[in-house]
Amino acid sequence: MTTARARGCDHPAGCHTGEVPTLASATVGARFWLLIEHAGPWASHLPECDLPAEVHALIDRATRLGVRPQLIRRPGRRTATKGPYRVMVADTTSEVPWIAEGVFEDLGDLDLGSLVRGVVPESCILVKEPVFLVCTHARRNACCARIGLPIARVLSESLPGRVWETTHVGGDRYAANLVCLPHGLYYGSMSQAAAIAVANAYRHGEIVLDRFRGRAGIPEPSQAAEHFVRAHTGELSVGGVAVESTRSDGDVTEAVVRHGEVRFRVVVERTSFTPCGMACADSITTYRPVALEHLQCGTPVLT
């Protein structure tokens, strides 16, 4: 197996500082999650990691089914784990998102087919408390470890047993990245204080809009539409805002967003943000609100 070198941080100025807009950047293809405890070391990409054959087989099976595989480990722990495999699975965008865990002698016994049908696999038990993932994947990007490791340690001290270091979650430029499961809420450019505030809010069923990247598993324009309705209404409860329908025309998307008994028509436009001016070749895709208006009762939804 090849061993990838750690990447340096070559992102534009303003990344990792909170200056770069983070909204609507959560990983779209991460509706279903598979978390496998493995202390490491972690190569740049999962197929390159030195893992038992059955772990690679499970990762391959998950990928084919559209499940996002992640390796996880306890903060600060680097010794190899032995014995049965500890695994967690999650469905982030079901009507009632859930996460469950199980311990397996044989990973072939894990029914990922049930997961993609929205059913808790046999031999897994629902987890009642939130799970927090901090990306510390140094081999993918050095900043993920440099910024993420201290955050994972501090957060773990506040929430023992609920915090895991994890491999790449998407969006290195937003390091440190924090993911809150089971809802799949993404946050970026985290500081230690911000991470603690986010975790405490999530445990009480709320979102912190500052540095909120969005919710995984839904299209970026929908993430943006939800974000702007939250900013407009002040609604912070996790389930308080949801997109009912969308239609797109190129870079412009029109959405109907529900907030309680109220619905809004939201139009967002995809645009680019260049932190360091025209001289910088690396620009960041983001969204701006074009229109946001209250829909009267009886107004038809988008067709």
Q: Give the tens place of pLDDT for each residue, 188-230.
A: 999 999 999 999 999 999 999 999 999 999 999 999 999 999 9
The token pair at 267 is 């139009």
- For the stretch 8-66, pLDDT in tens is 555 544 455 556 899 999 999 999 999 999 998 999 999 999 999 999 999 999 999 99
Q: What pLDDT band is residue 273 in, cutting at 50, 70 and 90?
A: confident
User: Do residues 100 and 145 lie in contact, with contact meaning Cβ atoms separated by under 8 Å?
Assistant: no
pLDDT of residue 83: 73
Give backbone dihedrals phi and psi of 68, rounded to 5 degrees, phi first.
-85, 115
Q: What CATH number corresponds to the domain at position 282?
A: 3.10.450
One domain, residues 36 and 170? yes
pLDDT of residue 284: 86
**Is the pTM higher than 0.85?**
yes
User: Is 95 domain-assigned?
Assistant: yes
Residue with tokens 């049908």: 117
One domain, residues 224 and 171? no
One domain, residues 157 and 65? yes
User: Is 214 domain-assigned?
Assistant: no
User: Do residues 194 and 154 lie in contact, with contact meaning Cβ atoms separated by under 8 Å?
Assistant: no
pLDDT of residue 274: 76
pLDDT of residue 239: 95
Tell me which of 152, 177, 203 is where a domain ends.
203
pLDDT of residue 13: 47
One domain, residues 194 and 69? yes
pLDDT at 82 over 90: no
User: Is 274 domain-assigned?
Assistant: yes
One domain, residues 227 and 260? yes
One domain, residues 83 and 192? yes
pLDDT of residue 298: 55
The token pair at 244 is 């009912």
pLDDT of residue 296: 78
Domain boundaries, position 259: 219-295
User: Is 208 domain-assigned?
Assistant: no
One domain, residues 247 and 131? no
User: Is 195 domain-assigned?
Assistant: yes
Q: Which residue has the higher pLDDT, 275 or 245?
A: 245
- How crowded is residue 198: how many other Cβ atoms within 10 Å of its Cβ? 23
pLDDT at 4 over 50: no
Give backbone dihedrals phi and psi of 115, rounded to 5 degrees, phi first.
-55, -50
Total number of domains constituting the chain? 2
One domain, residues 283 and 198? no
User: Is 24 domain-assigned?
Assistant: no
Q: What pLDDT band is residue 281 in, cutting at 50, 70 and 90?
A: very low
- For the stretch 83-139, pLDDT in tens is 799 999 999 999 999 999 999 999 999 999 999 999 999 999 999 999 999 999 998
Mean pLDDT across 150-157: 97
User: Is 2 domain-assigned?
Assistant: no
Mean pLDDT across 274-300: 75
One domain, residues 161 and 99? yes
pLDDT at 182 over 70: yes
One domain, residues 115 and 247? no
One domain, residues 99 and 174? yes
pLDDT of residue 15: 52
